């Protein structure tokens, strides 16, 4: 048992097998059919990717950054050299997967443009489209911040992949500050973004 769970791949495969069992039960119960299956699978993968992304964002903001001042100086480098770069890998690719699957979802439901324009063309009459559109804008801004602000600045601050070996300490500090601020902005935006994601289907009447 400990050997099994010592291996991450086994753990993930086991999770997928349990999911498959639940899927077979749902299929037997005729809870889904061919038409609902693909959008649902996309929705499920979208939420999984989103949890990975926002989970790591909250790890940075609720755990890693506030704990940093209490870590003894000789242990601090472990975080910057090993843990944060690994976390940033999953963080940015999960953000990418989330937006691709989210845009895919809006496309198969046929409201991608309508949502991104907040239903302006129809005269702001469809509340679901407006709410998911606000969520999609918030998520898209957050995705932009991850790829074009947080990640490049973290690369500088931590010299990830040795891309900035000669950067002076004040520049590294400035990059860390910018990354930290945008990480906080994304934490703030994640709260209304999730309100919209879930609210679009479950809050609105009708
Ligand atoms: C980055 C841009 C994002 C886009 C473009 C996007 C797009 C969408 C779309 C189109 C839906 C389907 C709404 C519907 O018709 O019911 C949805 C649902 C959802 N999204 Fe996102 N999303 C994004 C980010 C995120 C993130 C970061 C999370 C974090 C977990 C997330 C979690 C959810 C959840 C929980 C649902 C609702 C699932 C349900 O109620 O069945 N989304 N999203």
User: Using an 8 Å Cβ cutoff, are 53 and 91 in contact?
Assistant: yes
**Buried-state track 144-171, b at ≥16 Cβ within 10 A, e below 16:** ebbeebbbebbbbbbbbeeebeeeeeee
Average pLDDT over residues 101-106: 98
CA–CA dist 182, 179 (Å, integer): 5
CA distance 97 to 92: 9
Q: What residue's CA is closest to ligand 1, atom 36?
A: 197
Per-residue pLDDT tens over the stretch 104-137? 999 999 999 999 999 999 999 999 999 999 999 9
CA dihedral 32, 33, 35, 37 (to 10 degrees): 60
Q: How many CA atoms lie within 13 A of 107 on its CB side?
A: 8
User: Is residue 204 in contact with ligand 1, taking CB distance under 6 Å?
Assistant: no
CA 202 to ligand 1 center in whole angstroms: 12
Mean pLDDT of 39-49: 97
Cα–Cα distance measured from residue 112 to residue 106, given in angstroms and rounded to the nearest whole number = 5
What is the tens place of the pLDDT at every residue in 14-35? 999 999 999 999 999 999 888 9
> Would you say the CB of residue 47 lies under 6 angstroms from ligand 1?
yes
Q: Which of 102, 118, 196 to mutate to test the pocket of ligand 1 (most atoms within 8 A of CB)?
A: 102
- Rounded distance from Cα 47 to ligand 1 centre (Å): 7
């Amino acid at each position: 048992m400990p050997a099994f769970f010592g291996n991450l791949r086994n753990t993930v495969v086991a999770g997928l097998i349990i999911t498959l069992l639940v899927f077979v039960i749902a299929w037997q119960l005729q809870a889904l059919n061919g038409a609902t299956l693909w959008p649902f699978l996309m929705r499920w993968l979208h939420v999984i990717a989103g949890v990975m992304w926002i989970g790591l964002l909250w790890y940075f903001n609720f755990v890693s950054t506030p704990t940093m001042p209490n870590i003894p100086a000789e242990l601090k480098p472990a975080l910057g050299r090993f843990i944060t770069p690994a976390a940033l890998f999953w963080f940015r690719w999960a953000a990418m997967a989330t937006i691709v699957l989210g845009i895919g979802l809006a496309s198969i439901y046929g409201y991608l443009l309508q949502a991104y324009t907040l239903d302006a063309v129809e005269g702001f009459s469809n509340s679901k489209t407006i709410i998911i559109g606000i969520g999609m804008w918030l998520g898209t801004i957050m995705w932009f911040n991850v790829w074009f602000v947080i990640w490049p600045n973290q690369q500088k601050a931590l010299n990830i992949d040795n891309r900035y070996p000669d950067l002076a300490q004040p520049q590294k500090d400035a990059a860390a500050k910018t990354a930290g601020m945008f990480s906080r902005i994304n934490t703030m935006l994640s709260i209304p973004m999730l309100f919209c994601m879930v609210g679009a289907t479950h809050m609105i009447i009708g």
